[in-house]
């Protein structure tokens, strides 16, 4: 049995910070996302969906979040077993359309 005593660890907040320093119109939304995940003890995609109703699951371990009314996209890789979240991509909707979410 897996016990989730620790909240999710996000690797790395600095990626988000670097992005919002260049695109300050999404700072509050990225900070809000970060704070929710930082304190969460998610065990499944369904639990994440409860907090982020517009998220989309891609492949076995990727989640896409719409940021600031879908002006930006955040792609993370999640390991519920290890309580780890890896920031894989943050960018505009147009930049997102040019990536392969499953391999980034």
Task: State yes or no: pLDDT of 5 exceeds 90.
Answer: no
Percent of the residues in the chain that have a pLDDT greater than 70, as a whole number = 95
pLDDT score of 6: 80
Q: How is the beta sheet containing 9-11 ordered, strand by strand?
A: 9-11, 84-92, 72-79, 62-67, 56-58
Cis amide linkage into residue 91, ω under 30° from 0: no
Instruction: Check residue 6 and report its DSSP letter.
Output: S
Assigned CATH topology for domain 9-96: YaeB-like fold (3.30.2310)
Task: State yes or no: pLDDT of 2 exceeds 70.
Answer: no
pLDDT tens by residue, 50-89: 999 999 999 989 999 999 989 999 999 999 999 999 999 9
Model-level pTM? 0.91
The domain spans of the chain are 9-96
């Amino acid at each position: 049995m897996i016990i989730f005593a620790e909240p999710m660890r996000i690797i790395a907040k600095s990626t988000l910070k670097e992005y919002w320093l260049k695109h300050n119109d999404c700072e509050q939304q990225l900070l809000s996302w970060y704070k929710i995940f930082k304190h969460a003890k998610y065990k499944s995609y369904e639990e994440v969906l409860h907090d982020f109703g517009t998220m989309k699951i891609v492949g076995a371990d990727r989640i896409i979040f719409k940021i600031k009314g879908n002006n930006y996209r955040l792609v993370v890789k999640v390991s519920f077993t290890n309580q780890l979240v890896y920031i894989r991509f943050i960018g505009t909707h147009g930049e997102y359309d040019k990536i392969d979410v499953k391999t980034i």
